[in-house]
Amino acid sequence: MRKFKSSLSPASLDRLAYDFKNYVNSLDYKCELLVRRLIEEVGIKVVQENVNAFKGDSEKSYNTYFELHRYPNKGAFGKLVVENEDILFIEFGAGIYYNNGNAHPQSKDFGYGVGTYPGQKNAINPGYWWYQDDDGTLRFSLGTEATMPVYKAYAEMISKVGIIAREVFGNG
């Protein structure tokens, strides 16, 4: 927390006003830096670790980035984006082969999880199943493990926000 002190002389009050204005002008940058560091140093790293670690049939290639929105005199907002055609399977899981007892903590909140894919009829079958791909090819599947990359990134960013905020805002 930044503290400002001044005597009541005109020169001291001018210096106080100058220091305060500089501090206020630095807040937008510091808010942006906080958001940028949380996403770059924590969020993206956690997403990458978990997307790279999942077991199963889902698409392994992905793109992770963040969007930063600045609001002058109000701070900054960041959005962590993970692009992958199967990201919901990787986040919430598909099939019980890898996910028996491995439920996403927010699956009910979002309406996703093992057995929730529209038209699915094999998600709770033990072991494996076959499905027809978009081009009509019959495919074997064990499903996809719910590694929860977005949820884990969110939780880790929340756990680190105090530490990074103290570093960013710590010296005034």
In order along its 172 residues, the chain shows pLDDT tens digits of: 577 777 788 888 888 888 788 777 778 889 999 999 999 999 999 999 999 999 998 888 999 999 999 888 788 889 999 999 999 999 998 887 888 777 889 988 888 877 776 666 666 666 777 778 889 888 888 888 999 999 999 999 999 999 999 999 886 5
- Between CA 161 and CA 172 the distance in angstroms is 17
User: Could you tell me the pTM of the whole model?
Assistant: 0.80
Structure tokens at 1: 């927390």
pLDDT attached to residue 10: 83
Residues 6 or more apart whose CB falls under 8 angstroms from that of 129 comprise 95, 122, 140, 141
> Which has the closest alpha carbon to 59: 85, 40, 38, 26?
85
pLDDT attached to residue 36: 94
Distance of CA 71 to the CA centre of its chain: 20
Ordered alpha helix ranges (H), 59-148: 87-92, 107-110
- Between CA 5 and CA 67 the distance in angstroms is 38
Contact call for residues 149 and 103 (beta carbons, < 8 A): no
